[in-house]
Amino acid sequence: MRSGARRILCALCIALLSLGLGFVPAANAGTTPPTPPAVDADGWLTKTPAPAGAELVILSGKKTGADGCVIPIELKATPGDRVVRADETRINLRTCQLEVAVRRGDDVPKTPATQPSPDVATKEAGPAEPAKIEEPAPSQLRPAQKAKAGWTRTTGYFRTWWTDPIGLTVNSTRNNVSWDWNNVNCVSPGWGSANYEWLSGTGWAQLGENFQNLYGCTDQRSESYAHYANQAFCGIAIPAAHVYYPRNYVRGWWNGEMSGYTDSYADSGCSFLLTRHHQLEFS
């Protein structure tokens, strides 16, 4: 399907879904942010049903300068977990609370490989060797050694992505890390990189990004900033939808564990229609 046709189809789907949810732009649309649809008496807006067997976790954050909420999330995994995933199920924009469904290991569905498409723009940072952070080593860890006997090379990633009401991924930021560890010494650095993706065929654009790859005694970190926006997503008369990734990072630790963190948030326009997802996985 040509990108122009996809853009029209997506706009129609958003419009129909918005009407189905009870969202009708106000007469002064473009100056007043739209009201989130279908919230319950306590202010919760349900996005997706919780998968069977998932652990439901409620996170808290704070309001942005506009009508969004910054709600940080951190996932942790051991090599035995293989993968940890968290999907937004509900959000409360009054109290800035987020409910996510967390799944681990075999409960996490396989992520399909991204297929090349003229409607999807991509960008990569790295791979690059990390810069060292001077920090005191914990007393239980010895300095890193050049000899790699008994060491393990581990690679993994943390990805955050946002989907629209019909399930299309509109933007994502993925940070990758590779490091050596042996549970005794400080980490020995490997490499880090980042992958950015946005649905350019429906009007999404990347407005900025940067990437850092750092390591200290306890861990190696691959981290990114990114900013995406789409004026057409909400309609011409409504402010553009913005998605920010102030920080999105993955850390590989001295004991072989990984952690992923983000404070990504959607803001302005009808950005409340977007749903966030996070995945931490050993490659």
Q: What is the pLDDT of residues 198-244, one digit of tens each?
A: 999 999 999 999 999 999 999 999 999 999 999 888 877 688 999 99
Above 60 in pLDDT, residue 181?
yes
- If you average pLDDT over residues 263-276, what whole number do you get? 92
- Report whether pLDDT(1) > 50: no
Decide if pLDDT at 139 tops 50.
yes
What's the rounded mean pLDDT across residues 100-124?
Answer: 82
Over residues 89-99, the mean pLDDT reads 94
What pTM was computed for the model?
Answer: 0.84
Largest CA distance in the chain: 69
In a domain, 10, yes or no: yes
* Pair of tokens at residue 214: 């750092």
Q: What's the pLDDT score for residue 76?
A: 97
What is the C-alpha separation between 156 and 258, in angstroms, rounded?
Answer: 8
The structure tokens 């900013």 sit at 227
* CA-wise closest residue to 170 among 283, 274, 46: 274
Is 158 part of a structural domain of the chain?
yes
26 CB neighbour count, 10 Å cutoff: 13
Under 8 Å between Cβ of 278 and 258: no
List the single range of 55-59, 62-66, 139-143, 181-185 with lowest mean pLDDT: 139-143
| Residues 114-142, mean pLDDT to the nearest whole number | 79
> Has residue 52 been placed in a domain?
no
Total domains present in the chain: 1
Is residue 144 situated within a structural domain?
yes
**pLDDT confidence band for 28 (50 / 70 / 90):** very low
55: pLDDT strictly greater than 80: yes
Mean pLDDT of 56-76: 92
Q: Give me the pLDDT at residue 23, please.
A: 36
Look up the domain containing 164 and give its range. 3-28+67-84+104-282
> Which whole number is the average pLDDT over 114-129?
82
Q: Reduced to 3 states, what is the DSSP secondary structure of residue 12?
A: helix
Within a domain: residue 60? no
Sequence-ordered list of residues with C-beta below 8 angstroms from that of 212, at least 6 positions apart, any chain: 131, 221, 222, 223, 224
Q: State the chain's mean pLDDT as an integer.
A: 84
- Region 89-111 average pLDDT: 91
The pLDDT of residue 194: 96
Residue 7 lies in a domain: yes
Query: pLDDT higher for 234 or 163?
Result: 163
Contact 40, 222 (CB under 8 A): no
246 contacts 21 by C-beta, under 8 angstroms: no
Is residue 108 one of the residues assigned to a domain? Answer: yes
Phi, psi at 11, each rounded to 5°: -60, -40
Q: Note whether residue 150 is domain-resident.
A: yes
Q: Is residue 4 scored above 70 in pLDDT?
A: no
Assign 247 to helix, strand or coil.
strand
